[in-house]
Amino acid sequence: MTIQLNTDKNLSVHEGFGTKLDDLLSKELSRFSEHITRLEVHLSDENGSKEGINDKRCLLEARLEGRQPIAVSGLANTYELAVNSAIDKLKASLDTILGRIRSHHRS
């Protein structure tokens, strides 16, 4: 599973946060890694340089082998919370999609 990190012009990610993010995503999505060929992470600040509530956005786009990509997003006060929110949504979506595939192959 390749992880690609993208940010908007309002944000620059220092290496430590990028590594931490890579580790978190690899760990949280490890049980799906054989199905995900690439994971794109898009971090953005919805309000730019202005302060705002829940203005940090994380969009996760998972490219699955032989299937359409899945995209989910999380909004929060911090990037860390936004990433965790998006991870939870992605895991739920992948459980649903891959669960359907497994049950379809059994019948």
Q: What are the boundaries of each domain within the chain?
A: 2-106
pLDDT in tens, 72-96: 999 999 889 999 999 999 999 999 9
pLDDT in tens, 18-35: 899 999 999 999 999 999
Q: Between the CA of residue 69 and those of 62, 63, 72, 103, what are the distances in Å?
A: 5, 4, 10, 20
What's residue 65's pLDDT?
Answer: 87
The per-residue DSSP string of 37-69 comes to EEEEEEEEETTTTS--TT-EEEEEEEEETTS--
What's residue 38's pLDDT?
Answer: 95
Fold of 2-106: Double Stranded RNA Binding Domain (3.30.160)
